[in-house]
A and B are shown apart, each in its own frame.
Chain A
Amino acid sequence: MATILAVDDSASMRQMVSFTLQGAGHEVIEAEDGQVAYDLAQQHSNVDLVLSDVNMPNMDGISLIKALRGMDSYKFTPMLMLTTESTKDKKMEGRAAGATGWIVKPFNPDQLLATINKVIG
């Protein structure tokens, strides 16, 4: 099963994401913003997938992905952005930063699992 770094500043979103992923047998590392996630990513080299919100305090999701892509152990790691339809241009920005893909909010647990199965295993 995969180790997933889940980044969102909303506690309820993190809770939902973690609960869903853990329920599917994955290990989840939670972070409440990009900076925390970046620090955690440096401590963990075994992350199989990064799920990150875009709008967050301290370090946003785009900057996080850009920073992680620059690290050797995250060169090929799938990174998905959790984004809303109103931030379409963000998708392009995210792709340019090295994001693998995106999950459009709102999503439910089943959609989340279906989507991450596209990029793990």
Chain B
Amino acid sequence: MAVDISQFHEMFFEESFEGLEVMENGLLNLPPGSSDIELINDIFRAAHSIKGGAGTFGFNEVSEFTHDLETLMDLMREGKYSVTSEAVELMLQAVDCLRHMLTELKDKRPIDYSNASEISKHFKLILEKPESTAPEPEQVSATNDTECKSWRIGFKPNPEMLQTGNEPYRIIRELGELGCLVVHVLLDDLPSYDLIDPCECYLAWQLDLSGEAVSRDAIDEIFEWVIDDAEIGVEELSGAKISISQEAPAQHSDDSKESNNPLPEPTAVSGEVLPTSAVAINSEASIPRSLETTKPKAEPARGGDSKSIRVNIEKVDALINMVGEMVITQSMLCQLSKEYNEESHNELVSGLAQLEANTRELQESVMSLRMMPISFAFNRFPRLVRDLNRQLEKDVELVLHGEQTELDKTVMEKLGDPLTHLVRNAMDHGMETPQERLEQGKPEKGKIELKAFYEGGAVVIQICDDGKGLDDKKIQAKAISNSLIQEGEVLSREEIQDLILRPGFSTADEVSDLSGRGVGLDVVKQNIRALNGSLDVQSKENSGTTFTIRLPLTLAIVDGQLIRVEDSVYILPLTAISESLQLEEKNINTVAGGVDLYRIRDENIPVVHLNALFGHDKAEGSEYAKMLVVVESNERKIGLVVDELLDQQQVVIKSLEANYQGVEGLSGATILGDGTVALICDIHDIFTMSAGQYQLSFDKIFQSGHNYAA
């Protein structure tokens, strides 16, 4: 039977990545000298499973690499090797390396083994094995000679062999598959009927086997499980001796005394057991079933890389339950429609209300399928903080709160980098060295807390450190030198702290290896904005800084403002809108480059005509009897000219890419209550597009806006 093994790959990868998490977390909690056998066992098992799975599913390189790690864990498990920080460090590196290898394999990319072989070398040193000891496959390949060979086998099971589940009949059957088999049963030890214990085996056999390419290895393999439970003798016969011989079977060792007995003539008893003294079993399969011939090949996995999520079974049950209720409501309504009259109108209304409730519940449960506990995003941080502690010579403890808070899978995936950046930032800039902390009268050990919780319809994630806090004066000076603010401008504390999130600001005097990297916090803010979220900072000098991220529960549904542009309906994400107003002609000023600026209070905002941007034909009527919707992206504002503001409602985002093709300026589409399709605007895209429309960079537009205002 041909089983396509690649169908199990996805699960193997998923499981292995989980195993790596287990190993990583385990290793991080394994102090030198530890003898926490539970923990060591957990790590060992995870490594063992990855190794076993990798071998089975054809990733031999992973299997071999994991072998040393597993061996070392095994030694620790047996107390033969004590836990040292070097060993833990090495194993953590190996975990990283494995993660890399598995990721590359999963994405079907070639692997760079240089790191792996380096780590393997270190393992060999630790294990004091100078030579590479990649596990040799235990099975020895059968010799493939096609010569006809004959063997005489003496087989006498120990009386209790049956109680290991081994059955002589099956062993003989197996031998019969190798070639032509002549079976003689030996009844010498058979006691009288009243002395027979049905649980024991009293028979012995002499087996003559002949066939093409019957190798000794193939025979040994069949007896592999019973060598210790039986006396077995195997002797190669010359071709002439294949006919039933009256002579004693040849010995392979002297301890096989049983086979010294001459072959019995068919006796009364044996005649009852076997119809004739000799039974020939012919086999269709004359090729030994060598394990070698079916060695797993590392064939590339087929099939698309469909992504999967793990769903708690309770969620699925709830879903099925809800669908059940919906079916009941539907059949109730169906029944009602058949006998509909005026009196049943109220029933219809309540039935529809029921259906609406069912639908909403169903929607919520389906959305929850995409939700994952935030621990998936948090899990990498204990490791990160540990590494940074070493690197920066700081002593910081990481505390996680609310790891079970659930978040949309897509949001989670995109949250990784911003979170990493913020934690690095806290480690690098926020936290002091133990020395500095003591001087400030603080506890030597610093603390960074990662918190997640729900607040309203949003998930809030906080990164709090108890470090030195933000230096307002330094920030202000820096902002002035980077011309983010004017000299002498009076700002509140919050406004000053918000400056660090502005583009073009970086507090570090030099770009450090860590948080610097030429990427400022503004990029973090931008990334979180892209998820329809927000980033705020609060800080108190000398007692720490807190970054707060607020995210919508899901990306699949957005609170939308429906707008009309000519005869089409568009949707703007509500979170992007800062205000809407009636457009007044007198407030529009056209400046150089044909840019329209709209004066709101003391600001000048570039105006974008959505009808022109989206290529609608101009309808009759005055252009300025319209609405202006002010939207914000990345700290900048533009005013969108629309014809009418319609309802606000939650809309489900459908992908344009999947159903049609990506369109600039649009993030997706949705279906409205009346069945028509409305397009959802991508505010960030619209900024870029309108800048192109004016053939000016937005910096210049804003520059001119400032000049105009000044």
A and B interact: yes
A-side residues, CB < 8 A to B, are: 9-13, 15-16, 19-20, 23-24, 55-57, 69, 75-79, 82, 84-86, 95, 98-102, 104-111, 113-114, 118-121
What A residues does B63 contact at CB under 8 A?
Answer: 106
User: Among B49, B138, B166, B167, which residue has its beta carbon within 8 angstroms of that of A10?
Assistant: B49
Instruction: A95 to B544: give the CA distance in the assembly, Å.
Output: 62
Chain B: minimal CB distance from A118 (Å): 6
Determine the distance from Cα of A120 to Cα of B166 in the docked complex, in whole angstroms. Answer: 10
Cα distance A119–B162 in the bound complex, in angstroms: 12
Q: Is B57 an interface residue (CB 8 A)?
A: yes
Q: Does B519 contact A (CB under 8 A)?
A: no
**B163, B289, B291, B296: the one within 8 Å of A76 (CB):** B163
Per-residue CB contact flags for chain B residues 15-48 toward chain A (1 = under 8 Å, else 0) read 1000000000000000000000000011011001
Binding-face segment, B3-11, B109-117, B404-412, B443-451: B3-11
B-side contacts of A119, CB under 8 Å: 165-167, 170
Enumerate chain B residues within 8 angstroms of A19, measured Cβ to Cβ.
3, 7-8
B45-A9 in contact (CB<8A): yes
Min CB distance A65 to B, Å, is 9
* B53 touching A13, Cβ below 8 Å: yes
A95 to B229, CA, bound (A): 10
- The docked-state distance in angstroms from the alpha carbon of A69 to that of B1 is 32
A67, B97: Cα distance in complex, Å = 39
**Total cross-chain contacts (CB, 8 A):** 127
Asked whether, in the complex, the Cβ of A12 is within 8 Å of the Cβ of B164, the reply is no
Determine the residue in chain A with the shortest Cβ distance to B18. A11
Check B165–A98 contact: CB distance below 8 A.
Answer: yes
Q: Chain B residues near A99 (CB, 8 Å)?
A: 164-165
Asked if B71 contacts A23 (CB within 8 A), the reply is no
Distance in angstroms from B636 CB to nearest chain A CB is: 49
Bound-complex Cα distance A95 to B435 (A): 60
CA distance A57 to B55 in the complex (A): 21
B interface secondary structure, majority = helix
Whether A11 touches B15, Cβ cut-off 8 Å, given contacts A24-B1, A109-B5, is yes
CB distance from A27 to the nearest CB of B (A): 16
Q: How far is the CA of A78 from the CA of B164 in the complex (A)?
A: 7
Chosen A-B contacts, 23 in total, with CB atoms closer than 8 Å, are: A10-B53, A12-B12, A23-B3, A24-B1, A55-B48, A55-B49, A57-B41, A57-B42, A77-B165, A82-B52, A84-B55, A85-B135, A85-B136, A95-B164, A95-B228, A98-B164, A100-B166, A101-B166, A104-B139, A105-B55, A109-B3, A118-B171, A118-B222
- The CA-CA distance from A1 to B333 in the complex, in Å, is 48
* With known contacts A12-B15, A111-B291, A114-B289, A79–B3 Cβ distance under 8 A: no
Partner pick for A75 among B48, B170, B199, CB 8 A cutoff? B199
The total of chain B residues at the interface (CB under 8 A) is: 53
Q: How far is the CB of A56 from chain B (nearest CB, A)?
A: 7
Q: Please tell me if the beta carbons of B56 and A78 are within 8 angstroms of each other in the complex.
A: no
| CA of A98 to CA of B291, assembled, Å | 24
Q: Which of A11, A20, A69, A77 contacts B3 (CB 8 A)?
A: A20
B163 touches A69 (CB 8 A): yes
What residues on B are CB-neighbors of A13 within 8 Å?
49, 52-53, 56
**Residues on B with beta carbons closer than 8 Å to the beta carbon of A102:** 225
CA distance A110 to B63 in the complex (A): 20
Whether the Cβ atoms of A98 and B163 lie closer than 8 Å is yes
- In the assembly, what is the distance between CA of A91 and CA of B15, in Å? 26
Q: Is B468 part of the contact surface with A, judged by Cβ < 8 Å?
A: no
- Minimal beta-carbon separation of B448 from chain A (angstroms): 32
CA distance A57 to B291 in the complex (A): 30
- Residues of chain B touching chain A, judged by Cβ–Cβ distance below 8 Å, are 1-3, 5, 7-8, 11-12, 14-15, 41-42, 44-45, 48-49, 51-57, 63, 67, 70-71, 74, 135-139, 162-167, 170-171, 174, 199, 222, 224-225, 228-229, 289, 291, 294-296
Residues of A within 8 A of B41 (CB): 57
State the Cβ distance, A73 to closest chain B Cβ, in Å.
Answer: 12
Q: Which of A16, A56, A98, A120 contacts B5 (CB 8 A)?
A: A16
Contact of B11 among A12, A77, A100 (CB under 8 A): A12
Q: Which residues of B sit under 8 angstroms from A110, Cβ to Cβ?
A: 1-3, 294
Best-buried of B5, B45, B164, B167 by chain A (most CB within 10 Å)? B164
Q: How far is the CB of A15 from chain B (nearest CB, A)?
A: 6
Taken together as a complex, chains A and B put the C-alpha atoms of A28 and B137 apart, in Å, by 28
CA distance A42 to B313 in the complex (A): 25
* Alpha-carbon distance A69/B139, docked complex (angstroms): 28
- On whether A10 and B3 interact (CB within 8 A), knowing A76-B165, A105-B55, the answer reads no
Task: Count chain A CB atoms within 10 A of each CB in B1, B14, B56, B138 and give the residue with the most.
Answer: B56
Among all A-B residue pairs, the 9 with the closest Cβ atoms: A106-B55, A101-B225, A100-B165, A109-B3, A78-B165, A106-B56, A12-B12, A12-B11, A10-B49
CA distance A109 to B57 in the complex (A): 10
Cα A57 to Cα B70 in complex, Å, equals 16
Q: Which residue of B lies closest to A102 (CB)?
A: B225
Asked if residues A15 and B8 are in contact (CB atoms below 8 Å), the reply is: yes
Asked whether A86 lies within 8 Å of B49 as measured between CB atoms, the reply is no
Q: Are A107 and B165 in contact (CB under 8 A)?
A: no
Q: Could you tell me if A101 and B224 are in contact, using CB atoms closer than 8 angstroms?
A: yes
Return B171 CB to nearest CB of chain A, in Å: 8
| Residues of A with C-beta under 8 A to B164 | 95, 98-100
Q: What is the bound-complex CA distance between A113 and B136, given in angstroms?
A: 23
Contacts of A24 in B (CB 8 A): 1
Q: Which residues of A contact B294 (CB under 8 A)?
A: 108, 110-111
